[in-house]
Copies of this chain bind each other. A is one copy, B any other.
Amino acid sequence: MAAERSGGGDPARTLALLWRTPPEPKPVGRKPKVSVDQIVTAAIAVADREGLDAMSMARVAQELTVGTMSLYTHVPGKGELIDLMADTVLQERDLTSDGTWRERIKHYADRTRAVYQAHPWMRDVSMVRPPLGPGLMDGQEFVLAALADSGLEPKQVTVAHVAVEGFVHGAAASEVDDQQLAEKTGESGDSWWSARQVFWDDYSDVERYPTMTSLWNAGAYDTGGTLAQTMRGSYDYGLEKLLDGIEGGMR
């Protein structure tokens, strides 16, 4: 449960792993059965299929037909493995795009969103103390470059950066949260909500919730689409409005 993350270990060791600093070939000694890359790939595969909860050291080792403890020769611990997984999937973003600064940020948001869609377990990875690997850093540079081109002052760029980054990861996370729960519980978001329709009958109260009632009566909730489509729409809307605000504040 809770926010899965590393951080505890030796920073130098973790950074060396993230950047795949040459493991200085060992001419002697037993040959490794697995590599760091294989471990990370297998871990991502397990998490994609069964969620981060199911991504146990034992499960990954089993995937590679290797003893559990063998993994610890190549990776300091589970936290660091999650760092490696996160940075690896963030590298899947293809951040080459021309266009206005707004277009570039929307491109960044789209690519990041795609990462979360492909790897729903990213919801459980905290980005407050992020893995400082190439995947994350390239993304930071991309967004900062776009914002710097927008005409904002340097100090404003860094503040706006945190806001944008927070919005993008946060929105991608909640959007994906739904699928993640659907996979784990075997119940889709739409069916979860309809099973709770009883709420309106038994507990809702026009006196207490007049706005909700009148919005409902006005048909504001007849989206005509799935929950996923609605969330996607709000994602786009929110980012658009945030960028509008940033742009408007530059005058």
Contact = CB atoms under 8 A, between A and B. Distances in A.
Interface string A185-218: 1010100110110110011100011111011001
A110 interface: no
A4 B2 contact: yes
B231 A162 contact: yes
Interface stretch (A62-70, A84-92, A172-180): A172-180
Nearest to A192: B129
Interface stretch (A22-30, A32-40, A136-144): A136-144
Interface of A: 1-5, 7-8, 11-12, 15, 19, 51-53, 121, 123-124, 126-129, 132, 137-138, 140-141, 144-145, 148, 154-155, 157-160, 162-163, 166-167, 169-171, 173-174, 177-178, 180-181, 184-185, 187, 189, 192-193, 195-196, 198-199, 202-204, 208-212, 214-215, 218-221, 230-231, 233-234, 237-238, 240-246, 248-249
27 contacts: A2-B52, A3-B180, A11-B199, A15-B196, A15-B203, A128-B177, A128-B181, A129-B181, A129-B189, A137-B212, A141-B212, A148-B211, A154-B218, A154-B220, A157-B220, A160-B237, A162-B234, A167-B167, A167-B238, A170-B170, A240-B245, A241-B245, A242-B245, A244-B245, A244-B248, A244-B249, A245-B248
